[in-house]
Structure 1
Amino acid sequence: MAYQNPPSIPISDPEAPEITPTPTPSTNPLANGFSAKGVANKVKNNLVFHSKWGELNGAMGDLGTYIPIVLALTLARDLNLGTTLIFTGVYNIITGAIYGVPMPVQPMKSIAAQALSDTDFGVPEIMTAGILTGGVLFVLGVTGLMQLVYMLIPLCVVRGIQLAQGLSFALTAVKYVRKIQDLPKSKSLGQRHWFGLDGLVLAIVCLCFIVIVNGAGEKSRGCCDVVESGGDDDLGGQKRRNEVVERNRTRWVRKVIFSLPSAFMVFVLGVVLAFIRRHEVVHEIKFGPSTIEVVKFSKHAWKKGFVKGAIPQLPLSILNSVVAVCKLSSDLFPGKDFSPTSLSVTVGLMNLIGSWFGAMPSCHGAGGLAGQYKFGGRSGGCVALLGAAKLVLGLVLGTSLAHILKQFPVGILGVLLLFAGIELAMCARDMNTKEDSFVTLVITAVSLVGSSAALGFLCGMVVYVLLRLRNWTKDKPLSTIWMQKRPEQV
C-alpha cells in the first residue's frame, strides 16, 4: 500500500465562528482578470474587516518579533527607522490588498542576526544582502522554479521547519520574560525583578489575561446555551426562568470578555508604561519624517552582503517565507491557497525596491501569520491597518520613535512573541505517522541546536530520503516513493 502523508488538520479558530471568512474559490491575485472594476472589487473584499476588534487585535500579533529586531538594528547599526517604517507600512497595505489575509511583513532574521553579531556588517552590507536575496527570490518566482521547489518539499519537512521556528520564538520569548535584555547587543543582563514597570509580575499578569481572553484557540467560547423556560407559573417554573436569566447574564459576560482585543490592550499598556518609565522621552521626540536617501554601496559591501548575508538568508526565506507560508495559509484559511510563485515575487520586489533606500530587508513569515491569526486577524484589513499605523509613525516621528520603543517593557514583548511561537509550533500536530513525526523532530532538533534552519532542512531531507528508500519494494517503482500525496495536498 502506498505510503501517504496524513491530511492536514486546520488550526483551530481562537475567535468565534462568526468572524471566520467564507472560503473563496481562488485567491490568486491574477485569477480574476485585470479589469479595473474586478481589481477594485477584489481589493475592497480583501480589506473588509471580519471583526473590528479581532482585526485590531490581530495586527499586534507580529510585533513581538518586529519591534526587537528593528529596534536593535536602529540602536546598534544606525538603521533608518523612519524609512523602514514607511516602506514596511506600504508593504503591509499592498500585501493585505493582494492576498486578503493577515500576510505578515517581517525583517529578514538571518541578515539581522549577522548584522548584530558582526560590527563590520553595517547598513550598506545589510541592504546589499537584501537586494541579492530579493533578486534570487524574484527570479525563482517569475521563472516558476519556486513552484517546483514547493512541490518537491514534503509536508513533514515543512512541519519540521515550522516547529523549529515556533519553538525558537517561544524560547526567545521566555528569555525576554525571565531576564533583563540589552536588545541592541542581543544579550541578557541578569534576572528580571519580580516587581516594577517591567517586572515578572507584570509579564505574568499580561500572559494570564491573554490566556483568559483567547484561550488555546478553540472555536467554542464556552458560552452557555440558552435554555427555554417552561410556561408553568408555579415555583418550579419561576426557578427555571431565574436559571435562564442567570445563564443569559453569564453568556453575555463571557461574550464581552472573550471579544476583548487582548493583544492590543497589552501593547497599549506597554506604550503607556514606556512614557511612565522615562517621561523625559517626550522631549527627545522630533516630528517629521526621516530623510530618505539612496544608500551608497561599495564593491566590498556587495561581496560581504552576498557571502555573509544573502547565502545564509536564502534557505530561510525559501522555506519559512514562501513554502511554510503557503502551507500554513491553506491550513488556516481553507480555500485560500496562495501560489509559491506570487509569494516569491512579492518578497523579491519588496527588497529590490526598499533596500536601495535603507529600509530593512523584509519577507513574509509563517510565525507572523500564525501570530496574527492567533489574536484574531482574518483579512487583509488587519495588516493594512498595521501598515497605516507604521506609515503614520514613520512620517510623523521618524527615527525618534526609537527613543519610545527603547523604554517599552521587554517582558510584554516576550508575552506577545510567546503566543506567536506556540501557534506556529502547533501546526506540526497533524503529523500522525511515526515516520513523519520522526523527520519533523529531527529537523527541529538540528535547527534548534545548530541555530540553522538550513542545516535542519538538509538533515531532514536526508532522513526523509532514507526512509523512502527503506520502503522501496520490487513492486513499487522509485518514482512513486517520494511524494505520496493526494492531488489536493500538492
Structure 2
Amino acid sequence: MKTNFSFTFREFSGSLADLGTIIPFVVGVVTVSKMPITPILLWFGIAYLATGIYFKLPMPVQPMKVIGAIAISQSLTQREIVSAGVLIGIFFLIISSTDILEYLEKIIPKCVVRGIQLGLCLVIIIKGGEFILKDLEFGILSGFFFGFCIFLKRDWLFVPIVLFFGIISGIYAHGIPNIALTQIKITPVIPDSNEVISSFSVVFSQIPLTIMNSILALSLLIKDLFKYEVEEKKLARSVGIMNLVSVPFGGIPLCHGAGGLAVHYRFGARTGGSNIMIGLLFVAIAFFATSELLSIILYYGFPPIT
C-alpha cells in the first residue's frame, strides 16, 4: 500500500463523497438541540485532519447514527448529547487497551460483517431514492450527470458537479453571501449526574453498531480495498479519542464507518490527502462562513433531515 499523500482533484472529489451523510445529520441535530454549528464543523475538520495524517487513508469521519437519530427524534439537549459522547469515548478507549475486539473478530463470522456492509449499501440506495423523490427535478438532473460521468469514465467528477449546482441554485435564490472571519466560541459543556445516567440507554443502543460498522466491518473493508491491515484496537482508540476531545467542547459524537470509506473510495479517494483536503475545508468554513454562506452550503448543497 502507498503511504504517501496525494492532493489531486480526484482525491478532493472523493473527500466530498460522504457529505451527504454528514451534513443532513449535523443540520438535524443542530436544529433540535440548538447547538452552535461552527464548533461542530471545526471539530469535524480537526478529526478529518488527524485521522488522515495518522492512518494515511481516506478514513471516514461520521456522526454516530443512533445517537444522532435519537437526538433528532427525542429533541435531546446538548448536555445530554455530551453525556452520551463522553461515555462512548471512555468505553472505546478502554476496550482499545484489551483483546475484546480481536476476540469478537474471531468469533463473529465474516458473512455477518459482509451482511452489515450489504445492509449499509441498501440503506444508502434507499436514502438516495428518498432524496431524489423530495426534489425530483434535481434528482433527475443529478442522475443525468452521474450517467454522463460514467460514460466519460470520470465518475469521480459527479460529487463536485452536483454540489456545485446545488450551491449555485442557493446563490441564485439568495444572492452572493458575505464572507467574513467569524469568532468561534468553544465553551466546555459539563452535564449533571441525571443527564449522565439518562444517556446510558442511548450509549447502549449505539455501541453494537459502532463495534460492527466502525471497527470490524471497516477493518475488513480496508483489507479488501487497500490490501493493508489496520488493527481493530487502533480504530477503537481513534473513536474514543475523537469523542473525548471534541464532544465536551462543542462537537457531536463521531465515529468511522465502512459505508463512509466505500463512498470515499468509490469517488476517487485513495490516500490520507483526501482527509487533509476535506479537513481544511471544514476548518475554513467554520472560521470564515457567515450565516448566509452556511445557509447556502448546508440547505442547498444537502437536504436536512428534520
Give TM-score, length-normalised by structure 2: 0.92
Output the CA distance in 2 between the equivalents of 1:118 and 1:301: 14
Q: CA deviation at 1:306?
A: 1.6
Residues 1:153 and 2:113 aligned together: no
Deviations 1:442-486 (A, max 9, x none): xxxxxxxxxxxxxxxxxxxxxxxxxxxxxxxxxxxxxxxxxxxxx
Q: CA deviation at 1:62?
A: 0.3
Deviations 1:232-290 (A, max 9, x none): xxxxxxxxxxxxxxxxxxxxxx5xx62762211211221111222233x836x764132
Q: CA deviation at 1:201?
A: 2.5
> Which residue type is aligned with residue 108 of structure 2?
I
Q: CA deviation at 1:386?
A: 0.3
From the CA coordinates, give the structure whose radius of gyration is larger: 1
Equivalent position to 2:195, from 255, 276, 301: 301
- Partner of 1:282: helix, strand, or coil? coil
Output the CA distance in 2 between the equivalents of 1:406 and 1:146: 37
Q: CA deviation at 1:100?
A: 1.6
Deviations 1:168-221 (A, max 9, x none): 122122111102xxxxxxxxxxxxxxxxxxx42322121232233246xxxxxx
Equivalent position to 1:92, from 39, 45, 48: 48
Equivalent position to 1:344, from 236, 249, 252: 236
Deviations 1:382-405 (A, max 9, x none): 111000100111122277654224
Relative distance call for 1:150 and 1:398 in structure 2 (3 A) is farther
Does the 8 A contact of 1:79 with 1:360 survive in 2?
A: no
Partner of 2:214: 321
Partner of 1:3: none
Moved more, 375-384 or 267-276: 267-276
Residues 1:48 and 2:6 aligned together: yes
Q: CA deviation at 1:54?
A: 1.2
1:425-444 superposed matches below 5 A: none
- Partner of 2:60: helix, strand, or coil? coil
How many equivalent pairs are there?
A: 305
- Partner of 2:221: helix, strand, or coil? helix
Q: CA deviation at 1:53?
A: 2.1
Output the CA distance in 2 between the equivalents of 1:60 and 1:116: 24
Contiguous gaps of at least 5 residues in structure 2: none
Equivalent position to 1:278, from 153, 171, 174: 174
Residues 1:391 and 2:277 aligned together: no
Relative distance call for 1:406 and 1:104 in structure 2 (3 A) is closer
- Partner of 1:117: helix, strand, or coil? helix
Equivalent position to 2:266, from 374, 388, 401: 374
Q: CA deviation at 1:48?
A: 2.9
Relative distance call for 1:112 and 1:95 in structure 2 (3 A) is same
Equivalent position to 1:128, from 65, 68, 83: 83
Does the 8 A contact of 1:322 with 1:343 survive in 2?
A: yes
The higher-RCO structure (CA 8 Å, 6+ apart) is 2
Equivalent position to 1:82, from 17, 38, 46: 38
Relative distance call for 1:402 and 1:76 in structure 2 (3 A) is farther
Partner of 1:212: 148
Partner of 1:267: 163
Equivalent position to 2:154, from 239, 258, 263: 258
Partner of 1:116: 72
> Which residue type is aligned with residue 222 of structure 2?
S
> Which residue type is aligned with residue 310 of structure 1?
V
Which has the larger helix fraction? 2
Output the CA distance in 1 between the equivalents of 2:126 and 2:298: 22
Relative distance call for 1:314 and 1:127 in structure 2 (3 A) is same
> Which residue type is aligned with residue 354 of structure 1?
S
Q: CA deviation at 1:83?
A: 0.7
Give TM-score, length-normalised by structure 1: 0.59
Q: CA deviation at 1:328?
A: 0.7
Relative distance call for 1:76 and 1:331 in structure 2 (3 A) is same
Identity across the alignment (%): 30
Output the CA distance in 1 between the equivalents of 2:236 and 2:119: 22
Relative distance call for 1:110 and 1:398 in structure 2 (3 A) is farther
Q: CA deviation at 1:410?
A: 4.6
- Partner of 1:79: helix, strand, or coil? coil
Does the 8 A contact of 1:320 with 1:366 survive in 2?
A: yes
> Which residue type is aligned with residue 351 of structure 1?
N
Output the CA distance in 2 between the equivalents of 1:124 and 1:277: 36
Relative distance call for 1:47 and 1:286 in structure 2 (3 A) is same
Deviations 1:301-354 (A, max 9, x none): 1112222x21101001101000010011111112x1111010000011000111
> Which residue type is aligned with residue 295 of structure 2?
H
- Partner of 1:65: helix, strand, or coil? helix
Relative distance call for 1:201 and 1:259 in structure 2 (3 A) is closer
Equivalent position to 2:93, from 114, 118, 138: 138
